Amino acid sequence: MGRFSVVKRCDHQGTKRTVAVKQVNKKLMRRDRVTQELNLLQRLQHPHIVSLIDTYETPSSYALVLEMADQGRLLDYIVSWGNLTEEKVACYLRNVLEALHYLHNCRIVHLDVKPTVKLIDFGDAVQLNSAHYVHPLLGSPEFASPELVLGEPVSLTSDLWSLGVVTYVLLSGASPFLDESAEETCLNICRLDFSFPRDYFQGVSQAARDFVCLLLRTDPGRRPPAGLCLQEPWLQAGLGDGRARAEGCLDTSLIALRANRPPSCC
């Protein structure tokens, strides 16, 4: 469920595939906004970006027929593993970073990166043709960058901040800035008010924490682009400089609460 749309699981008659149909309410979103998302999706082809299959229109809605991510919701998928490790988190992040690197090479910023199996929901995505595009903050600010919260120009690295928040969530199940109200959450984001509580990060390597800090930088210019992030030692399959990942299983109890299901055991 989005701010202006609802997504339904359906069977595509032509291909017999299970698909996700995003229905956008015409009363809530203008045609040009839907057309912008459609045009972006038609241009994109990447294994870690959800693909557009078809479109149609009804009297009350625009409909985008999208690929259904095989594993469903990411947090459900993670809990079902039962043995979440830093290696698995790093593997997932590499996939997302490869998708972001592809997007950013096209000068497209997603602006709604969240814990999903693939990059989905391009309703906020925009092609940056100037250095001064200000995007309105809509919905929950949990994954939003400081520039988005403050109404300042966004950049390609706005997505990297969001990925830093996603990384923190996957490593601990907790959210670094989320508070009791949207206003308090925004204040925490702008103050860079986060830490690594021992109760949540016991067993998480220093290299993993350093990667989070690398992305959660207030100045967009100090965040590394996606291509450089992919070169970070913690994300590499073979580590030769001592920045090793923790080998034990991560605690998924808080992730299970976010996914509303019991945790599996390692």
Say what the pTM is: 0.89
Residues 6+ apart with CB under 8 A from 8: 20, 21, 23
| Dihedral of the alpha carbons of 194, 254, 113, 195, in degrees to the nearest 10 | 10
What is the average per-residue pLDDT within 178-191? 97
What is the average per-residue pLDDT within 210-226? 98
pLDDT 10s digits, 1-33: 456 778 888 887 777 788 888 888 888 778 888
117: tokens are 């199996």
Cross-strand partners of 25? 61
Residue with tokens 């069977």: 11
Specify the higher pLDDT residue, 150 or 265.
150
**What gap in Å lies between CA 68 and CA 157, rounded to an integer?**
27
Look at 5-14, 155-164, 218-227 and tell me which has the smallest mean pLDDT: 5-14
Same fold, 5-67 and 74-259: no
pLDDT 10s digits, 40-61: 999 999 999 999 998 989 898 9
Q: Which CATH class is domain 74-259?
A: mainly alpha
pLDDT 10s digits, 123-136: 899 999 877 889 98
**What gap in Å lies between CA 249 and CA 259, rounded to an integer?**
18
What's the CATH fold of domain 5-67? Phosphorylase Kinase; domain 1 (3.30.200)
Residue with tokens 């906020």: 124
181: tokens are 């109200």
Each domain of the chain, given as residue ranges in start order, spans 5-67, 74-259
240 has a pLDDT exceeding 70? no
Q: Is 112 a catalytic residue?
A: yes
Catalytic residue among 70, 112, 179, 241: 112
**What gap in Å lies between CA 103 and CA 115, rounded to an integer?**
17
